[in-house]
Structure 1
Protein backbone atom coordinates (compact mmCIF):
# COMPACT_ATOMS: atom_id res chain seq x y z
CA UNK A 1 0.00 0.00 0.00
CA UNK A 2 1.31 3.44 -0.92
CA UNK A 3 1.66 6.09 1.74
CA UNK A 4 -1.07 8.65 1.33
CA UNK A 5 -0.34 11.97 -0.44
CA UNK A 6 -2.58 14.24 1.67
CA UNK A 7 0.15 16.42 3.14
CA UNK A 8 0.53 20.21 3.46
CA UNK A 9 2.42 21.62 0.49
CA UNK A 10 1.34 18.90 -1.91
CA UNK A 11 -0.93 19.73 -4.84
CA UNK A 12 -4.42 18.54 -5.82
CA UNK A 13 -6.33 19.07 -9.07
CA UNK A 14 -10.14 18.93 -9.06
CA UNK A 15 -12.31 18.87 -12.19
CA UNK A 16 -15.84 20.16 -11.91
CA UNK A 17 -14.24 21.89 -8.98
CA UNK A 18 -16.09 25.20 -8.99
CA UNK A 19 -19.36 23.91 -7.55
CA UNK A 20 -20.98 20.97 -5.79
CA UNK A 21 -18.91 17.96 -4.80
CA UNK A 22 -15.85 19.30 -6.59
CA UNK A 23 -15.86 22.51 -4.59
CA UNK A 24 -16.37 20.50 -1.40
CA UNK A 25 -13.31 18.40 -2.23
CA UNK A 26 -11.27 21.51 -3.08
CA UNK A 27 -12.19 23.08 0.26
CA UNK A 28 -11.24 19.92 2.14
CA UNK A 29 -7.85 19.80 0.43
CA UNK A 30 -7.20 23.47 1.16
CA UNK A 31 -8.18 22.92 4.80
CA UNK A 32 -5.54 20.16 4.91
CA UNK A 33 -2.87 22.60 3.71
CA UNK A 34 -2.61 21.50 0.09
CA UNK A 35 -2.39 23.66 -3.00
CA UNK A 36 -5.47 23.17 -5.17
CA UNK A 37 -6.20 23.72 -8.85
CA UNK A 38 -9.94 24.16 -9.37
CA UNK A 39 -10.80 23.33 -12.97
CA UNK A 40 -14.24 23.89 -14.46
CA UNK A 41 -15.86 24.60 -17.81
CA UNK A 42 -18.31 27.21 -16.50
CA UNK A 43 -16.99 30.76 -16.16
CA UNK A 44 -19.79 31.80 -13.79
CA UNK A 45 -18.98 28.95 -11.41
CA UNK A 46 -15.27 29.77 -11.57
CA UNK A 47 -15.98 33.39 -10.64
CA UNK A 48 -17.92 32.28 -7.56
CA UNK A 49 -15.25 29.74 -6.63
CA UNK A 50 -12.51 32.37 -6.80
CA UNK A 51 -14.46 34.46 -4.34
CA UNK A 52 -15.20 31.53 -2.03
CA UNK A 53 -11.59 30.33 -2.03
CA UNK A 54 -9.95 33.77 -1.80
CA UNK A 55 -8.92 33.24 1.86
CA UNK A 56 -6.55 30.48 0.68
CA UNK A 57 -4.56 33.05 -1.29
CA UNK A 58 -2.05 31.68 -3.77
CA UNK A 59 -2.70 28.09 -2.71
CA UNK A 60 -5.91 28.11 -4.78
CA UNK A 61 -5.89 28.52 -8.56
CA UNK A 62 -9.04 28.49 -10.71
CA UNK A 63 -8.72 27.62 -14.39
CA UNK A 64 -11.08 26.82 -17.24
CA UNK A 65 -11.03 23.23 -18.47
CA UNK A 66 -13.23 21.33 -20.89
CA UNK A 67 -12.61 17.74 -19.78
CA UNK A 68 -13.46 16.47 -23.24
CA UNK A 69 -10.65 18.51 -24.85
CA UNK A 70 -7.22 16.87 -24.72
CA UNK A 71 -5.48 20.13 -25.63
CA UNK A 72 -7.10 21.72 -22.57
CA UNK A 73 -5.72 18.86 -20.48
CA UNK A 74 -2.23 19.35 -21.88
CA UNK A 75 -2.36 23.05 -21.03
CA UNK A 76 -3.62 22.24 -17.53
CA UNK A 77 -0.70 19.90 -16.90
CA UNK A 78 1.72 22.58 -18.06
CA UNK A 79 0.13 25.06 -15.63
CA UNK A 80 0.55 22.64 -12.73
CA UNK A 81 4.14 21.80 -13.62
CA UNK A 82 5.10 25.46 -14.02
CA UNK A 83 3.49 26.60 -10.77
CA UNK A 84 3.97 23.67 -8.37
CA UNK A 85 6.10 21.18 -10.33
CA UNK A 86 4.32 18.07 -9.03
CA UNK A 87 0.72 16.88 -8.82
CA UNK A 88 -0.13 14.46 -6.02
CA UNK A 89 -3.93 14.15 -6.05
CA UNK A 90 -6.10 14.09 -9.18
CA UNK A 91 -9.86 14.31 -8.50
CA UNK A 92 -11.77 13.58 -11.71
CA UNK A 93 -15.16 14.84 -10.65
CA UNK A 94 -16.69 16.68 -13.62
CA UNK A 95 -19.99 15.20 -14.76
CA UNK A 96 -23.34 15.92 -16.34
CA UNK A 97 -26.72 14.43 -15.52
CA UNK A 98 -28.36 13.01 -18.64
CA UNK A 99 -31.78 11.59 -17.81
CA UNK A 100 -34.46 10.23 -20.08
CA UNK A 101 -35.80 7.10 -21.69
CA UNK A 102 -33.26 5.08 -23.61
CA UNK A 103 -36.05 4.24 -26.06
CA UNK A 104 -36.39 7.93 -26.99
CA UNK A 105 -32.67 8.69 -27.00
CA UNK A 106 -30.46 9.50 -29.96
CA UNK A 107 -26.72 9.27 -30.49
CA UNK A 108 -26.18 12.84 -29.23
CA UNK A 109 -27.51 11.92 -25.77
CA UNK A 110 -25.05 9.05 -25.44
CA UNK A 111 -22.18 11.02 -26.91
CA UNK A 112 -22.56 13.93 -24.48
CA UNK A 113 -22.86 11.71 -21.41
CA UNK A 114 -19.97 9.52 -22.48
CA UNK A 115 -17.73 12.43 -23.52
CA UNK A 116 -17.98 14.12 -20.12
CA UNK A 117 -18.78 11.39 -17.60
CA UNK A 118 -16.36 8.76 -18.91
CA UNK A 119 -14.22 10.51 -21.50
CA UNK A 120 -13.34 13.28 -19.05
CA UNK A 121 -11.96 10.68 -16.65
CA UNK A 122 -10.00 8.89 -19.37
CA UNK A 123 -8.51 12.16 -20.60
CA UNK A 124 -7.47 13.15 -17.09
CA UNK A 125 -5.77 9.83 -16.45
CA UNK A 126 -3.97 10.04 -19.78
CA UNK A 127 -2.82 13.61 -19.11
CA UNK A 128 -1.52 13.19 -15.57
CA UNK A 129 -0.75 9.54 -14.79
CA UNK A 130 2.69 9.53 -16.48
CA UNK A 131 3.56 12.72 -14.59
CA UNK A 132 2.37 11.29 -11.26
CA UNK A 133 4.27 8.04 -11.75
CA UNK A 134 7.31 9.94 -12.95
CA UNK A 135 7.90 12.04 -9.84
CA UNK A 136 7.78 8.94 -7.63
CA UNK A 137 6.11 10.52 -4.60
CA UNK A 138 2.87 9.08 -3.15
CA UNK A 139 -0.01 10.08 -5.43
CA UNK A 140 -3.67 9.22 -5.88
CA UNK A 141 -6.33 9.41 -8.58
CA UNK A 142 -9.96 9.44 -7.49
CA UNK A 143 -12.85 9.62 -9.94
CA UNK A 144 -16.47 10.44 -9.19
CA UNK A 145 -18.89 7.82 -10.42
CA UNK A 146 -22.28 7.63 -8.72
CA UNK A 147 -24.60 5.13 -7.10
CA UNK A 148 -25.79 5.14 -10.70
CA UNK A 149 -22.49 3.42 -11.46
CA UNK A 150 -23.69 0.41 -9.47
CA UNK A 151 -27.48 0.44 -9.90
CA UNK A 152 -29.69 1.91 -12.63
CA UNK A 153 -32.49 4.28 -11.62
CA UNK A 154 -35.59 5.11 -13.65
CA UNK A 155 -34.60 7.07 -16.78
CA UNK A 156 -30.97 6.61 -15.73
CA UNK A 157 -29.70 4.14 -18.31
CA UNK A 158 -27.72 6.64 -20.38
CA UNK A 159 -26.12 8.22 -17.32
CA UNK A 160 -25.40 4.86 -15.67
CA UNK A 161 -23.77 3.41 -18.78
CA UNK A 162 -20.99 5.98 -18.46
CA UNK A 163 -20.84 5.83 -14.67
CA UNK A 164 -20.53 2.03 -14.68
CA UNK A 165 -17.55 2.60 -16.96
CA UNK A 166 -15.95 4.92 -14.40
CA UNK A 167 -16.21 2.23 -11.71
CA UNK A 168 -14.60 -0.34 -14.01
CA UNK A 169 -11.89 2.11 -15.06
CA UNK A 170 -10.87 2.90 -11.51
CA UNK A 171 -11.05 -0.71 -10.33
CA UNK A 172 -8.79 -1.73 -13.20
CA UNK A 173 -6.44 1.21 -12.69
CA UNK A 174 -6.07 0.44 -8.98
CA UNK A 175 -5.17 -3.14 -9.83
CA UNK A 176 -2.67 -2.13 -12.50
CA UNK A 177 -1.02 0.40 -10.17
CA UNK A 178 -0.63 -2.02 -7.26
CA UNK A 179 2.89 -1.87 -5.87
CA UNK A 180 3.62 1.57 -7.33
CA UNK A 181 3.62 5.01 -5.73
CA UNK A 182 0.19 5.81 -7.24
CA UNK A 183 -3.19 4.44 -6.20
CA UNK A 184 -6.76 4.87 -7.43
CA UNK A 185 -10.25 5.00 -5.93
CA UNK A 186 -13.82 5.62 -7.03
CA UNK A 187 -16.37 7.87 -5.33
CA UNK A 188 -19.97 6.63 -5.59
CA UNK A 189 -22.15 9.34 -4.02
CA UNK A 190 -25.85 8.93 -3.43
CA UNK A 191 -27.93 12.09 -2.98
CA UNK A 192 -25.74 15.17 -2.59
CA UNK A 193 -27.01 18.75 -2.68
CA UNK A 194 -25.52 19.78 -6.05
CA UNK A 195 -26.61 21.12 -9.44
CA UNK A 196 -25.76 17.93 -11.36
CA UNK A 197 -29.14 17.72 -13.12
CA UNK A 198 -29.26 21.40 -14.12
CA UNK A 199 -26.74 20.78 -16.89
CA UNK A 200 -29.35 20.07 -19.56
CA UNK A 201 -29.64 23.82 -20.17
CA UNK A 202 -25.88 23.95 -20.77
CA UNK A 203 -25.80 21.11 -23.31
CA UNK A 204 -23.47 22.07 -26.20
CA UNK A 205 -25.02 22.56 -29.62
CA UNK A 206 -22.98 19.64 -30.95
CA UNK A 207 -24.88 17.29 -28.64
CA UNK A 208 -28.45 18.36 -29.41
CA UNK A 209 -30.73 15.81 -27.84
CA UNK A 210 -33.16 13.30 -29.17
CA UNK A 211 -34.80 13.43 -25.73
CA UNK A 212 -36.75 16.65 -26.17
CA UNK A 213 -38.44 18.51 -23.34
CA UNK A 214 -40.39 21.72 -23.41
CA UNK A 215 -39.63 24.45 -20.89
CA UNK A 216 -42.35 23.41 -18.45
CA UNK A 217 -41.26 19.78 -18.48
CA UNK A 218 -37.63 20.79 -18.01
CA UNK A 219 -38.57 23.01 -15.06
CA UNK A 220 -40.52 20.16 -13.45
CA UNK A 221 -37.66 17.69 -13.92
CA UNK A 222 -35.13 20.11 -12.44
CA UNK A 223 -37.40 20.94 -9.49
CA UNK A 224 -37.88 17.24 -8.73
CA UNK A 225 -34.13 16.59 -8.89
CA UNK A 226 -33.35 19.59 -6.69
CA UNK A 227 -35.93 18.48 -4.12
CA UNK A 228 -34.42 14.99 -3.90
CA UNK A 229 -30.81 16.18 -3.82
CA UNK A 230 -31.52 18.93 -1.27
CA UNK A 231 -32.12 16.21 1.32
CA UNK A 232 -28.73 14.62 0.66
CA UNK A 233 -25.27 15.26 1.99
CA UNK A 234 -23.68 18.68 1.65
CA UNK A 235 -20.68 19.01 -0.67
CA UNK A 236 -18.52 19.92 2.34
CA UNK A 237 -19.47 16.65 4.03
CA UNK A 238 -18.55 14.70 0.92
CA UNK A 239 -15.26 16.58 0.64
CA UNK A 240 -14.38 15.51 4.18
CA UNK A 241 -15.26 11.91 3.30
CA UNK A 242 -12.95 12.04 0.28
CA UNK A 243 -10.16 13.40 2.48
CA UNK A 244 -10.55 10.47 4.89
CA UNK A 245 -10.69 7.97 2.03
CA UNK A 246 -7.48 9.32 0.51
CA UNK A 247 -5.69 9.03 3.84
CA UNK A 248 -6.95 5.44 4.21
CA UNK A 249 -6.34 4.55 0.53
CA UNK A 250 -9.89 3.18 0.40
CA UNK A 251 -10.86 1.64 -2.95
CA UNK A 252 -14.48 2.84 -2.76
CA UNK A 253 -16.06 5.93 -1.19
CA UNK A 254 -19.77 5.92 -0.37
CA UNK A 255 -21.67 8.84 1.10
CA UNK A 256 -24.40 6.96 3.00
CA UNK A 257 -25.72 3.45 3.56
CA UNK A 258 -29.31 4.14 2.53
CA UNK A 259 -28.74 2.33 -0.76
CA UNK A 260 -27.43 -0.81 0.92
CA UNK A 261 -30.71 -2.77 0.49
CA UNK A 262 -30.68 -2.07 -3.26
CA UNK A 263 -27.07 -3.19 -3.58
CA UNK A 264 -27.80 -6.34 -1.59
CA UNK A 265 -30.81 -7.09 -3.81
CA UNK A 266 -28.65 -6.72 -6.93
CA UNK A 267 -25.96 -8.96 -5.45
CA UNK A 268 -28.53 -11.60 -4.54
CA UNK A 269 -30.02 -11.52 -8.04
CA UNK A 270 -26.57 -12.00 -9.58
CA UNK A 271 -25.72 -14.87 -7.26
CA UNK A 272 -29.09 -16.51 -7.87
CA UNK A 273 -28.55 -16.37 -11.62
CA UNK A 274 -25.02 -17.74 -11.28
CA UNK A 275 -26.30 -20.54 -9.05
CA UNK A 276 -28.79 -21.57 -11.71
CA UNK A 277 -26.02 -22.52 -14.15
Structure 2
Protein backbone atom coordinates (compact mmCIF):
# COMPACT_ATOMS: atom_id res chain seq x y z
CA UNK A 1 0.00 0.00 0.00
CA UNK A 2 1.96 2.99 -1.33
CA UNK A 3 -0.46 5.22 0.60
CA UNK A 4 1.60 4.74 3.78
CA UNK A 5 5.08 5.36 2.41
CA UNK A 6 6.87 8.27 4.16
CA UNK A 7 3.88 9.03 6.41
CA UNK A 8 4.32 10.12 10.03
CA UNK A 9 2.22 7.95 12.35
CA UNK A 10 1.44 8.14 16.06
CA UNK A 11 0.13 5.00 17.79
CA UNK A 12 -1.01 5.05 21.41
CA UNK A 13 -1.01 1.79 23.32
CA UNK A 14 1.67 0.50 20.95
CA UNK A 15 3.45 -1.59 23.57
CA UNK A 16 1.33 -4.69 23.02
CA UNK A 17 -1.66 -6.24 21.28
CA UNK A 18 -3.43 -4.37 18.51
CA UNK A 19 -1.25 -1.27 18.95
CA UNK A 20 1.94 -3.28 18.52
CA UNK A 21 0.54 -5.01 15.42
CA UNK A 22 -0.51 -1.67 13.92
CA UNK A 23 2.96 -0.21 14.56
CA UNK A 24 4.56 -3.19 12.81
CA UNK A 25 2.18 -2.97 9.85
CA UNK A 26 2.77 0.78 9.45
CA UNK A 27 6.54 0.39 9.61
CA UNK A 28 6.44 -2.38 7.02
CA UNK A 29 4.57 0.01 4.70
CA UNK A 30 7.20 2.73 5.05
CA UNK A 31 5.85 4.88 7.89
CA UNK A 32 7.87 6.57 10.58
CA UNK A 33 6.12 5.46 13.75
CA UNK A 34 5.94 7.07 17.17
CA UNK A 35 5.21 4.18 19.53
CA UNK A 36 3.63 5.39 22.75
CA UNK A 37 2.56 3.43 25.79
CA UNK A 38 2.20 3.99 29.52
CA UNK A 39 4.83 1.22 29.81
CA UNK A 40 8.00 2.77 28.36
CA UNK A 41 9.87 -0.55 28.33
CA UNK A 42 7.13 -2.10 26.18
CA UNK A 43 7.07 0.89 23.81
CA UNK A 44 10.86 0.78 23.53
CA UNK A 45 10.87 -2.94 22.79
CA UNK A 46 8.37 -2.46 19.95
CA UNK A 47 10.22 0.56 18.51
CA UNK A 48 13.45 -1.45 18.46
CA UNK A 49 11.72 -4.11 16.35
CA UNK A 50 10.89 -1.55 13.64
CA UNK A 51 12.94 0.15 10.95
CA UNK A 52 12.03 3.76 11.69
CA UNK A 53 10.36 4.27 15.05
CA UNK A 54 10.67 6.20 18.30
CA UNK A 55 9.32 5.15 21.73
CA UNK A 56 7.59 7.49 24.13
CA UNK A 57 6.02 7.00 27.54
CA UNK A 58 2.52 8.44 27.44
CA UNK A 59 -0.44 8.27 29.79
CA UNK A 60 -3.37 9.20 27.53
CA UNK A 61 -5.47 10.11 30.59
CA UNK A 62 -3.05 12.98 31.26
CA UNK A 63 -4.13 15.83 28.97
CA UNK A 64 -1.03 17.91 29.68
CA UNK A 65 1.29 15.01 28.86
CA UNK A 66 -0.50 14.36 25.57
CA UNK A 67 -0.20 18.04 24.65
CA UNK A 68 3.54 18.07 25.41
CA UNK A 69 4.01 14.95 23.31
CA UNK A 70 2.08 16.43 20.38
CA UNK A 71 4.23 19.56 20.53
CA UNK A 72 7.37 17.45 20.35
CA UNK A 73 6.17 15.46 17.36
CA UNK A 74 5.04 18.49 15.38
CA UNK A 75 8.27 20.33 16.24
CA UNK A 76 10.33 17.42 14.90
CA UNK A 77 8.22 16.43 11.92
CA UNK A 78 6.04 19.38 11.04
CA UNK A 79 3.13 17.03 10.41
CA UNK A 80 1.26 13.95 11.61
CA UNK A 81 -0.46 11.98 8.88
CA UNK A 82 -1.89 9.16 10.95
CA UNK A 83 -3.13 9.31 14.52
CA UNK A 84 -4.17 6.00 16.07
CA UNK A 85 -6.04 6.69 19.33
CA UNK A 86 -5.71 3.08 20.34
CA UNK A 87 -4.80 2.90 24.04
CA UNK A 88 -7.51 1.36 26.20
CA UNK A 89 -8.34 -0.78 29.21
CA UNK A 90 -10.92 -3.45 29.95
CA UNK A 91 -13.43 -3.97 32.73
CA UNK A 92 -16.01 -6.68 33.32
CA UNK A 93 -18.61 -7.11 36.00
CA UNK A 94 -22.24 -6.36 36.80
CA UNK A 95 -23.15 -2.71 37.31
CA UNK A 96 -24.13 -3.38 40.93
CA UNK A 97 -20.66 -4.83 41.59
CA UNK A 98 -18.73 -1.99 39.95
CA UNK A 99 -17.13 0.70 42.10
CA UNK A 100 -17.25 4.36 41.09
CA UNK A 101 -13.45 4.34 40.95
CA UNK A 102 -13.60 1.68 38.24
CA UNK A 103 -16.10 3.70 36.20
CA UNK A 104 -13.79 6.73 36.37
CA UNK A 105 -10.72 4.65 35.50
CA UNK A 106 -12.33 3.19 32.38
CA UNK A 107 -13.79 6.50 31.20
CA UNK A 108 -10.62 8.50 31.83
CA UNK A 109 -8.58 6.20 29.62
CA UNK A 110 -11.01 4.86 27.00
CA UNK A 111 -12.97 8.06 26.40
CA UNK A 112 -10.89 10.98 27.63
CA UNK A 113 -7.75 9.37 26.22
CA UNK A 114 -9.30 9.71 22.76
CA UNK A 115 -10.49 13.25 23.54
CA UNK A 116 -7.01 14.26 24.68
CA UNK A 117 -5.50 12.87 21.48
CA UNK A 118 -7.98 14.79 19.35
CA UNK A 119 -7.53 18.00 21.34
CA UNK A 120 -3.73 17.90 21.02
CA UNK A 121 -3.37 16.73 17.41
CA UNK A 122 -6.46 17.55 15.35
CA UNK A 123 -6.14 21.37 15.09
CA UNK A 124 -2.62 21.10 13.71
CA UNK A 125 -3.51 18.19 11.44
CA UNK A 126 -6.22 20.37 9.90
CA UNK A 127 -3.72 23.19 9.33
CA UNK A 128 -0.86 21.13 7.85
CA UNK A 129 -0.28 20.94 4.11
CA UNK A 130 -0.33 17.13 3.89
CA UNK A 131 -3.52 15.09 4.44
CA UNK A 132 -4.19 13.23 7.68
CA UNK A 133 -6.32 10.42 9.01
CA UNK A 134 -7.48 9.64 12.54
CA UNK A 135 -8.27 6.11 13.66
CA UNK A 136 -10.17 5.78 16.94
CA UNK A 137 -10.17 2.30 18.43
CA UNK A 138 -13.60 1.50 19.82
CA UNK A 139 -14.71 -2.14 20.03
CA UNK A 140 -17.40 -4.55 18.94
CA UNK A 141 -18.73 -3.63 22.39
CA UNK A 142 -19.19 -0.12 21.06
CA UNK A 143 -21.87 -1.23 18.60
CA UNK A 144 -23.19 -4.43 20.23
CA UNK A 145 -24.61 -4.73 23.80
CA UNK A 146 -22.63 -6.96 26.13
CA UNK A 147 -24.07 -7.70 29.60
CA UNK A 148 -21.68 -7.48 32.54
CA UNK A 149 -19.32 -5.13 30.74
CA UNK A 150 -21.35 -1.92 31.12
CA UNK A 151 -18.47 0.47 31.93
CA UNK A 152 -16.43 -0.86 29.00
CA UNK A 153 -19.45 -0.85 26.67
CA UNK A 154 -20.37 2.66 27.73
CA UNK A 155 -16.85 3.91 27.05
CA UNK A 156 -16.69 2.28 23.62
CA UNK A 157 -20.18 3.45 22.64
CA UNK A 158 -18.97 6.93 23.58
CA UNK A 159 -15.98 6.58 21.26
CA UNK A 160 -18.27 5.48 18.43
CA UNK A 161 -20.67 8.38 18.99
CA UNK A 162 -17.88 10.91 19.31
CA UNK A 163 -16.21 9.60 16.15
CA UNK A 164 -19.37 9.61 14.06
CA UNK A 165 -20.09 13.20 15.08
CA UNK A 166 -16.51 14.22 14.33
CA UNK A 167 -16.59 12.50 10.93
CA UNK A 168 -19.44 14.80 9.93
CA UNK A 169 -17.43 17.84 11.01
CA UNK A 170 -14.36 16.68 9.08
CA UNK A 171 -16.19 16.13 5.79
CA UNK A 172 -14.50 18.16 3.08
CA UNK A 173 -11.35 18.74 5.13
CA UNK A 174 -7.90 17.21 4.68
CA UNK A 175 -8.44 14.83 7.63
CA UNK A 176 -10.35 11.57 7.39
CA UNK A 177 -11.61 9.32 10.17
CA UNK A 178 -12.06 5.59 10.72
CA UNK A 179 -13.63 3.83 13.72
CA UNK A 180 -11.98 0.50 14.54
CA UNK A 181 -14.35 -2.03 16.15
CA UNK A 182 -12.52 -5.28 16.93
CA UNK A 183 -14.23 -8.33 18.37
CA UNK A 184 -12.57 -11.17 20.28
CA UNK A 185 -8.86 -10.58 19.70
CA UNK A 186 -6.05 -12.64 21.18
CA UNK A 187 -4.22 -9.91 23.10
CA UNK A 188 -3.14 -9.28 26.69
CA UNK A 189 -6.05 -6.89 27.36
CA UNK A 190 -8.17 -9.67 28.84
CA UNK A 191 -5.36 -10.60 31.27
CA UNK A 192 -5.20 -6.98 32.40
CA UNK A 193 -8.96 -6.48 32.51
CA UNK A 194 -10.37 -5.52 35.91
CA UNK A 195 -13.07 -7.96 36.98
CA UNK A 196 -15.73 -7.11 39.57
CA UNK A 197 -17.90 -9.49 41.57
CA UNK A 198 -17.54 -12.60 43.73
CA UNK A 199 -16.64 -14.88 40.79
CA UNK A 200 -14.17 -12.46 39.19
CA UNK A 201 -11.15 -14.75 39.33
CA UNK A 202 -13.02 -17.68 37.81
CA UNK A 203 -14.53 -15.55 35.04
CA UNK A 204 -11.20 -14.04 34.17
CA UNK A 205 -9.57 -17.46 33.83
CA UNK A 206 -12.39 -18.58 31.53
CA UNK A 207 -12.11 -15.40 29.46
CA UNK A 208 -8.34 -15.77 29.06
CA UNK A 209 -8.80 -19.34 27.82
CA UNK A 210 -11.59 -18.29 25.43
CA UNK A 211 -9.59 -15.40 23.95
CA UNK A 212 -6.54 -17.63 23.48
CA UNK A 213 -8.56 -20.32 21.67
CA UNK A 214 -11.09 -18.24 19.71
CA UNK A 215 -9.44 -14.83 19.40
CA UNK A 216 -8.44 -13.37 16.06
CA UNK A 217 -4.79 -12.33 15.77
CA UNK A 218 -3.96 -8.65 16.29
CA UNK A 219 -2.03 -8.80 13.01
CA UNK A 220 -5.29 -9.49 11.17
CA UNK A 221 -6.87 -6.47 12.85
CA UNK A 222 -3.93 -4.30 11.79
CA UNK A 223 -4.19 -5.47 8.18
CA UNK A 224 -7.93 -4.86 8.14
CA UNK A 225 -7.75 -1.35 9.56
CA UNK A 226 -4.92 -0.26 7.26
CA UNK A 227 -7.00 -1.37 4.27
CA UNK A 228 -10.06 0.42 5.67
CA UNK A 229 -8.09 3.67 5.97
CA UNK A 230 -6.90 3.46 2.36
CA UNK A 231 -10.50 2.87 1.22
CA UNK A 232 -11.76 5.77 3.34
CA UNK A 233 -14.16 3.62 5.34
CA UNK A 234 -15.84 5.10 8.39
CA UNK A 235 -16.13 1.74 10.17
CA UNK A 236 -13.70 -1.15 10.30
CA UNK A 237 -15.39 -4.12 11.98
CA UNK A 238 -13.15 -7.13 12.44
CA UNK A 239 -13.48 -10.08 12.31
CA UNK A 240 -16.48 -9.42 10.10
CA UNK A 241 -18.22 -12.74 10.80
CA UNK A 242 -18.25 -12.05 14.53
CA UNK A 243 -18.72 -8.30 14.84
CA UNK A 244 -20.53 -7.70 11.56
CA UNK A 245 -23.27 -10.23 12.30
CA UNK A 246 -23.87 -8.88 15.80
CA UNK A 247 -23.95 -5.32 14.51
CA UNK A 248 -26.46 -6.27 11.82
CA UNK A 249 -28.74 -7.97 14.34
CA UNK A 250 -28.51 -5.02 16.74
CA UNK A 251 -29.55 -2.61 13.98
CA UNK A 252 -32.26 -4.98 12.73
CA UNK A 253 -33.88 -5.53 16.11
CA UNK A 254 -32.48 -4.29 19.43
CA UNK A 255 -35.10 -6.42 21.18
CA UNK A 256 -33.89 -9.56 19.40
CA UNK A 257 -30.31 -8.76 20.36
CA UNK A 258 -31.36 -8.37 24.01
CA UNK A 259 -32.94 -11.83 23.85
CA UNK A 260 -29.77 -13.29 22.32
CA UNK A 261 -27.58 -11.67 24.98
CA UNK A 262 -29.79 -12.98 27.80
CA UNK A 263 -29.78 -16.47 26.27
CA UNK A 264 -26.00 -16.46 26.04
CA UNK A 265 -25.68 -15.25 29.61
CA UNK A 266 -28.06 -17.95 30.86
CA UNK A 267 -26.13 -20.60 28.93
CA UNK A 268 -22.86 -19.56 30.54
CA UNK A 269 -24.47 -19.60 33.98
CA UNK A 270 -25.87 -23.07 33.29
CA UNK A 271 -22.44 -24.40 32.33
CA UNK A 272 -20.93 -22.96 35.52
CA UNK A 273 -23.54 -24.71 37.68
CA UNK A 274 -22.93 -28.12 36.11
When structure 1 is superposed on structure 2, of 259-268 and 180-189 the one drifting more is 259-268
Q: Which runs of 5+ in 1 are unaligned?
A: 202-208, 273-277
- Among 233, 239, 242, the alignment partner of 2:222 is 239
Q: Distance in 1 between matches of 2:222 and 2:207?
A: 21
Per-residue CA shift, 1:235-254, capped at 9, x if unaligned?
11111111111111110001
- Among 197, 203, 206, the alignment partner of 1:221 is 203
- Among 236, 239, 248, the alignment partner of 1:264 is 248
Per-residue CA shift, 1:121-173, capped at 9, x if unaligned?
01100000011001032110011100000112231111000100000111111
SS at match of 1:192: coil
Q: What is the TM-score of this pair, normalised by structure 2?
A: 0.86
Per-residue CA shift, 1:159-188, capped at 9, x if unaligned?
000100000111111110000100111000
Q: Give the conservation status (yes or no) of the 8 Å contact 1:97–1:198.
A: no
Q: Distance in 2 between matches of 1:78 and 1:166?
A: 24
Q: 1:263 to 1:8 in 2, by over 3 A?
A: closer
The residue that corresponds to 2:89 in the other structure is 96
Q: Give the conservation status (yes or no) of the 8 Å contact 1:7–1:33.
A: yes
The residue that corresponds to 1:167 in the other structure is 160
Q: Cα RMSD over matched residues? A: 2.2
Q: CA deviation at 1:271?
A: 9.1
SS at match of 2:94: coil
Q: CA deviation at 1:212?
A: 5.7
The residue that corresponds to 1:275 in the other structure is none
- Among 43, 46, 51, the alignment partner of 1:46 is 43
Q: Give the conservation status (yes or no) of the 8 Å contact 2:237–2:244.
A: no
Q: Which runs of 5+ in 2 are unaligned?
A: 257-274
* Corresponding position: 1:18 with 2:15: yes
* Corresponding position: 1:73 with 2:66: yes
Q: CA deviation at 1:113?
A: 0.7
Q: 1:271 to 1:179 in 2, by over 3 A?
A: farther
SS at match of 1:258: helix
The residue that corresponds to 1:86 in the other structure is 79
The residue that corresponds to 2:34 in the other structure is 37
Q: Distance in 1 between matches of 2:186 and 2:14?
A: 15
Higher relative contact order (CA 8 A, sep 6+): 1
Q: Distance in 2 between matches of 1:271 and 1:222?
A: 28
